[in-house]
Structure 1
């Protein structure tokens, strides 16, 4: 990470912020990242006494929005809220990226651990994970699954699922989880790994929840098994959503943002949003957040290399 001279830090901290702050979300409105951002900004606006404005910049699996932030001035007025995919997955899928996540972006604060849930359309004649796996095996290549886009966390989770179960299904990528969920609800695709927004439709009986692609069960759904528990080991689509700044942003500003985000994450409004998505709030120190992303990068990188996946 680039560093400014030490003598510039106190003055930067004292003057900052003196204008609105832009929080870039690199996925469309209605998805998990957007939901978290809009739950976070009221608390940040109140704490910083300046408007914190969400700016959706979707495209290219989060790369477009992340690139906007990576190339923005490191003055503390532009931040990125992203899934872990743009940090931990994209570098393994694309040989040419317009930015280097480790060089050009500075970890600021973790917001939430987001899980992905295996949801199926009611037209699928399966009420348990075992029945669904059997149905897929009996109908190779006949079912399709949606995702938030090529290389997104839900896509990688589905590929882990297919590889672990030796299954064949057709991937249909969308520009975000929200449009994928819309087509799942209409039956245009038969299943997807959903990062949480689809759970409300499970409660309404419009979709069926079969499993969670996580290292452990979700507290909100204690009776829903993990895929590993059902005999499909290694299927872990957990993603740490968090906030990043352009490299070189004054350390005092990064530390202040980490403090304020951690406090906003603890607020009931954001906890309620995360609970509805089946995730867990995850306030962390800057160092612990960086270490979490390093672990995610190692886990996803190992799978992507083993599967020979590439998007170039």
Structure 2
């Protein structure tokens, strides 16, 4: 119950999102469409490298989806381009439900920053919202600061000398850190990586002293190999109640990042419903919940209609963010 209460509480922070888990034990065989969908393997694109938290989470969903639908689900990694290669693939994929993708927040942001091969509203069928990332700022134990305030003071006194890694240009950790740095009054040297696994290897290898990314750094923080300076949610993370948020440290920067599943525009509504219902039931799968808890990701369920409305709202909100940060039209 504590796990479910924490997940539901975290999800409730997101306005307009339906929060909740289906009752335990409701998973059952998914009925097929009149056309027989699905009758062959489904490709689920994970637009991040293998080995990271996103990869682990999508593979847990894929395994559960396979059990729900009775066909193989192949998770295909397509890292790069700020996590948008899955959305790009939807433009040319057949709208038959056999090629689907994770849709991270950058899908709604990057089209405002550079020319992209897709329009997130016109070219994508939003299927279901599932969960979301939690972010934090960590440093190496030998960094010349031990708190977020000390890091800001250090960076202010050495303009442009603070180097930090993030999960890719235009991704949420990148923009969140840049917004925080702007509000805190210091400049940086940012180093983009292709995803959480790469950035974690970089900071553990001493290639960057600071990173902004997902909570898969937790085991290394607990082992003393990294130091958590702050988290980026509205409230403190229950895993580290002693660690302040960036917001309560004095800089109004909050970053929460829900995501779900998309398909090509024009996918048969009956196929969309089969996929939606099956993914909805994966949120009752103990193996999925265990994986989400391992990476501190709450359940953030959105129906097809709610997820579609969320996408439109987010697309416009990200446009405002990009303009505010002076990034419109930059690549």
What is the DSSP-based 3-state SS (H/G/I as helix, E as strand, rest coil) of the residue aligned with 2:138? strand
Structure 1 partner of 2:323 = 305
Structure 1: tracts of 5 or more residues without a match = 1-9
Change (3 A) 1:13 1:29: farther
SS for the counterpart of 1:210 is strand
How far apart, in 2, do the equivalents of 1:297 and 1:231 lie? 28
Partner of 1:240: 258
Structure 1 residue 12: Cα displacement: 4.6
Structure 2 regions of 5+ residues with no counterpart? 1-30
Matched, 1:194 2:207: no
CA–CA separation in structure 1 for the residues paired with 2:172 and 2:246: 16
Does the alignment pair 1:178 with 2:197? yes
1:260 correspondence with 2:252: no
- Whole-Å separation in 1 of the counterparts to 2:109 and 2:56: 21
- The answer to whether the 8 A contact 1:143-1:189 is kept is no
**Cα separation, 2, equivalents of 1:15 and 1:311:** 45
- Structure 1 residues 205-245: Cα deviation after superposition (integer angstroms, max 9, x where no partner): 11111111123333333332221111100x22211121100
Aligned counterpart in structure 2 of residue 33 of structure 1, from 54, 61, 66? 54
Question: How far 1:89 sits from its partner (Å)?
Answer: 1.2
> Is 1:126 matched with 2:126?
no
Deviation at 1:27, TM superposition (A): 1.5
CA distance in 2, matches of 1:268, 1:225: 31
Deviations 1:125-179 (A, max 9, x none): 3222222222222222222111111111111111111111111110011122211
Partner of 1:281: 299
Secondary structure in 2 aligned to 1:101? coil
Relative to the length of structure 2, the TM-score reads 0.85
Name which of structure 1's ranges 65-74 and 282-291 shifts more when overlaid on structure 2: 282-291
> Per-residue CA shift, 1:270-304, capped at 9, x if unaligned?
22222222221212211222233334334432221
Number of aligned residue pairs: give it. Answer: 300
